[in-house]
Amino acid sequence: MRLFQHHRSSSDERLLWSRDIRFVHRLADAMPSCRALELDSGAVLIGSATVLTDAAAAAVAGEARALDYGLVPVDADLPPAERYLMALSQAVQDSGLAARIGMAPSTQVVQTKTLDYFFSLRRLHGVAFQPIIELASGELHEYECLFRPEMPMLPQSISAIVQAAIDTDRSIELDAFLITSILERAGALERDRRRAGEAPLRLAVNVTPASLLDARFEASTLAAMVQTHGLSPARITLECTEQQAVEDVVRLKRAVKGLRREGFGFAIDDAGAGYASFSLIAALRPSVIKIDRDIVAGIARDDAKQALVEAFVSFGRRIGARLLAEGIERRADLAMISALGVDLGQGYLLGRPALEPIPPRPIESLRLDAARLSVRRAMRGGLEPARSSAGRLPTAARIGD
């Protein structure tokens, strides 16, 4: 594939592929600055994005009656030996002819290529910080570190990247990459905060169960890695993000105990969804149980969701775990979650993710009358109305506000 190597590194190149060789040569004649190359499966044209435009290709395609072609950007952030192959593959897929010429990739091949591309762009990715607050006081509890992939030619969410890693048995490799990147960023922030005389950060970092069973994430090894970046395990909560069933609960339970001994907090994410069952949570004894956002959304108007959260609150108290509601986006849901006794909250209403840790919104400006909501639930046979320390209903409830 030496013919794909280029004499200069450019961020504004595009690549066109078509099975119609005559169409590509006609394009090349119309665009002398572009380079044409014949392949067994068709032909390729590479040129500047200002010359090889969609409009120019469409005009010639109309004249030549070429029906199918793919035109994509060339990613200069990839190594020279890979950027044109990646663009060619994408152009063939975009043409709609991949299956016909034997280039339709299997799901695992696509996922593998996606992960390889993701890892190659290490310096482009970012880490965002979303505040988690104490619902009773509105005070900041910690920030969740959210990885933000930046993949110009193949935009992907982090959840899609995680699923690809699970499906291709690369979840441990991905976690090592993500956690190292997050610790590097958090360590730099911590050094800046120390110089400014600011309080150290408390952080929540996601990790899959499979990684917690790997030697690279053994408790003392992970604690040493954290300390290398100037951070303290006692100020980090590991959130177990479960997208597949846990096969060895006994080993995972041992691993979690080791992490707790090193000072780490431990949270179960997405409780009430997927594999985060009551039995798994009971076995792992987390310090925090995160209630899935799908349960939180619309909870103010949904008795079944309210009953489920009540059960989690009661369960959490029995095992000594705090409850955290994620995905809070409406004031009515915030009021109901608070009335149900949930300790912690997270969501766009309280504070959006940002590339720098920023304070949450003042909770008093977001509160609805929780007493009114709890009284309405009590009238429907739900939660017992909130009472003051003197045993009386709060004023708003007593006057029927």
Tens digits of residue pLDDT in 19-74: 889 899 999 999 999 999 888 778 999 999 999 998 888 888 876 555 688 899 99
Q: How far apart are CA 189 and CA 183, in angstroms?
A: 10
In the CATH hierarchy, which fold is given to the domain comprising 2-104? Answer: Alpha-Beta Plaits (3.30.70)
Fold of 117-368: TIM Barrel (3.20.20)
Q: Is the pLDDT of residue 5 over 50?
A: no
Q: Which of 147-151, 159-163, 348-352 has the highest mean pLDDT?
A: 348-352
**pLDDT value for 99:** 64
Q: Where do the structural domains in the chain lie, given as residue ranges? A: 2-104, 117-368
How many angstroms separate the Cα of 101 from the Cα of each of 104, 239, 251?
Answer: 8, 45, 47
Is residue 382 within 8 Å of residue 306, measured between CB atoms? yes
Residue for token pair 């009472």: 387
pLDDT category, 385, cuts 50, 70, 90?
very low
Residue 401 has pLDDT above 70, yes or no: no
> In 3-state terms, what secondary structure has residue 134?
strand
Q: How does the average pLDDT of the chain come out, rounded?
A: 84
Q: What would the two tokens of residue 142 be? A: 């910690």
